[in-house]
């Protein structure tokens, strides 16, 4: 399988971005999916989860009300809508697929960089 | 939020040595614990999930153990490609949380 993120870039504080993650090589609609981020030189931070059917989403507190995770199972694509961006949201954003029957992440994309700066 | 603490932060070891990395949870996570390896400029790679199940294709020199609040990743004989940063992650409760990482460097 493969995951390919896109949509990163440079944005001013308060701005918006929409990240996409295109999946291939596995049956996308069967799996829960997540976004994980990594600030420059820092560790990993889980950001959001979406159930395989798209009906349940969970977020880390720091992005609640600002970020929205969604998916289109007909297009094998995961999304992260990011609004009211802050400097501290600057990071590489990875999409990740969950293990069948478990919740660890067995497939990761290469990541897309989001820089929030004035 | 469950806090994951890894120790040590950095470990200097020689190829061929056996090494054990520690991960502690601030409360029980049962066996809902994964280990990842990350090399510079790369995405993380799943090594272990369910505290002790090796990911597909992972060499047998990697093993995981523990449950509840204490976990260990052991590499039986370090190879040159194993020098990297290792993260543990709990997925027992949201928000999922990662440890701060242990960097394995060549001695």
CA dist., res. A69 & res. A59, Å (int): 9
Q: From chain B, which residues contact A within 8 Å (Cβ)?
A: 32, 34, 36, 38, 43-46, 49-50, 55-56, 87, 89, 91, 94-101
For residues A69 and A59, is the Cβ–Cβ distance under 8 A?
A: yes
How crowded is the C-beta side of A46, counted as CA atoms within 13 Å? 31
**Do the chains contact at A104 and B95, CB–CB below 8 Å?**
no
DSSP string over A20-38: EEEEESS-GGGS-EEEEEE
**Do the chains contact at B95 and A61, CB–CB below 8 Å?**
yes
Residue B33's nearest CA partner among B1, B71, B6 is: B71
State the pLDDT at residue B42: 97
Structure tokens at B21: 């990395």
Instruction: Give me Rg for the CA atoms of chain A.
Output: 13
Residues of B in contact with A102 (CB under 8 A): 49-50, 91
User: How would you write the pLDDT of chain B (107 residues) with one tens digit per residue?
Assistant: 999 999 999 999 999 999 999 999 999 999 999 999 999 999 999 999 999 999 999 999 999 999 999 999 999 999 999 999 999 999 999 999 999 999 999 88
**Do the chains contact at B43 and A111, CB–CB below 8 Å?**
yes
State the pLDDT at residue A99: 93
* Nearest CB neighbour to B43, from listed A58, A94, A102: A94
Name the percent of chain A lying above pLDDT 90: 97
User: Which residues face A20 on adjacent strands?
Assistant: A6, A79
Residues of B in contact with A108 (CB under 8 A): 43-45
Which regions in chain A score pLDDT beneath 50?
none
State the pLDDT at residue B107: 87
State the pLDDT at residue A100: 87
**Do the chains contact at B91 and A104, CB–CB below 8 Å?**
yes
């Amino acid at each position: 399988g493969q995951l390919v993120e896109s949509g990163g870039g440079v944005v001013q504080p308060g701005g918006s971005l929409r990240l996409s993650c295109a999946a291939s090589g596995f049956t996308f609609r069967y799996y829960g999916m997540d976004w994980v981020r990594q600030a420059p030189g820092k560790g990993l931070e889980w950001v959001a989860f979406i159930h395989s059917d798209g009906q349940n989403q969970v977020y880390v507190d720091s992005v609640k009300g600002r970020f929205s995770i969604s998916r289109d199972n007909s297009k094998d694509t995961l999304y992260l809508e990011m609004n009211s961006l802050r400097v501290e949201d600057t990071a590489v954003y990875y999409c990740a697929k969950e293990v069948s029957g478990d919740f660890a992440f067995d497939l990761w994309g290469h990541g897309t960089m989001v820089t929030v700066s004035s | 939020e469950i806090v994951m603490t890894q120790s040590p932060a950095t470990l200097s070891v020689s190829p061929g040595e056996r090494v054990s990395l520690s991960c502690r949870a601030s409360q029980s996570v049962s066996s809902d614990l994964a280990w990842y390896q990350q090399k510079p400029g790369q995405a993380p790679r799943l090594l272990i999930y369910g505290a002790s199940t090796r990911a597909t294709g992972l060499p047998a020199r990697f093993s995981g153990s523990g449950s509840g609040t204490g976990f260990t990743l052991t590499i039986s004989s370090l190879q040159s490609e194993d020098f990297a940063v290792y993260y543990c992650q709990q997925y027992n409760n949201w928000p999922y949380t990662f440890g701060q990482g242990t960097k394995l460097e060549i001695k």
